[in-house]
Amino acid sequence: MTDRPTANSKARARNRPTADDYFQGIRDRNLSMLARAFTLVESSSPRHLKVAEELLTRLMPLTGNALRIGITGAPGAGKSTFIEAFGLLLVRQGKRVAVLAVDPSSGVSGGSILGDKTRMTNLSSEKDAFIRPSPSAGTLGGVAHKTRECMLIAEAAGFDVILIETVGVGQSETMVADMTDCFLGLMLPGAGDELQGIKRGLLELVDVIAVNKADGKNKDAAELAARQYHNALDSITGRHFDDAPAILTCSARENLDIDKVWKAIEKRCRLRKDSGDFQRRRQQQNLRWLWSIVEDQLRHVMHTHPAVQAICNDVETNVLDGSMPPAAGARRLFSALNLDPSNL
């Protein structure tokens, strides 16, 4: 017996915004509709996917005018405090700022606290600022699954600067570096220990290093850390002088030298625009985004296709007990889709 649509479900369907509704709301800078558009593109519901794709296609001509800045740092580096101070600086300069703050999801329940907005109360109360916390939901790279889509929506809504806060620090942060124009690494004083444990891959990606908490008794330690980064960077990464990240100190808590961080970001982006690298980076980022979507959709097909599901348990059992090599198991799963990787 199939369930018939109830009067309530029909009413809800009639009241669902269309792609036109979302588009006009975003054009009108309606923050309520903007939040609903973020929820739409983050949804995994099949009925939302088509609307989201239509909306993004229509919004594309309105995107690309914002400056995209990724911000990462180890736990305790003060990312939320810094972003609030940084965002307030930009708002006072007449800019509209959107913050896409990614909170780590629980590996057990999948839940997320989504507390970034509550930690940025002053910024969230500004009419020219918008903070969107999203769960990482297990996505690698320090970003949520649909951060790129949310970034485009924010750009279409007229925000001048998009700040993407990552869940932490590590080599998987390549993803956020691969969707932004400038990548800021927020560091703590005491670089001696930190340089030993910091990921080499991160230093190869960042455009600006800001040693935070450079105030009070930490001021000397922060300046020492900055000098140590200067001395160690060439030997660690081998980057050329003209591509070396700017290194400076600041204090988000005391609102000291935050403007210098902004000037360093502006300078890096200006140099890239003058050389033509800015636009080339964005084009390459779009290509990598394309193939990331292809890989995600292929993975989804492999996990949901009936023919694959019919043999999946047997293949996994054989791989677990050692009677089938993983490569052979993968080939069998592909064969269920009439695909042979060796012939592709």
DSSP 90: H
pLDDT, tens digit, for every residue of 165-177? 886 655 457 778 8
User: Is pLDDT above 50 for 139?
Assistant: no
Q: Count CB-CB contacts under 10 A for residue 187.
A: 27
Beta bridge partners of residue 70, listed in sequence order: 164, 183
Q: What is the mean pLDDT of residues 109-137?
A: 71
- Give dist(CA 132, CA 143) in Å, integer: 12
CATH topology of domain 14-59: 1.20.5
**What pTM does this model have?**
0.83
pLDDT band at 142, cuts 50/70/90? very low
Find which of 8-17, 62-71, 140-149, 296-305 is predicted with most confidence, using mean pLDDT.
62-71
The CATH number for 286-343, chosen from 1.10.8, 3.20.20, 3.30.1300, 1.10.287, is 1.10.287
Instruction: Report which of residues 4 and 125 the model is more confident about.
Output: 125
pLDDT interval class at 239 (50, 70, 90): low
- Mean pLDDT score, 85-109: 80
Give DSSP secondary structure letters for 246-268: EEEE-BTTTTBSHHHHHHHHHHH
Q: Which fold has domain 63-275?
A: Rossmann fold (3.40.50)
Domain boundaries, the chain: 14-59, 63-275, 286-343
Per residue in 102-114, pLDDT (tens digit) is: 764 433 334 333 4
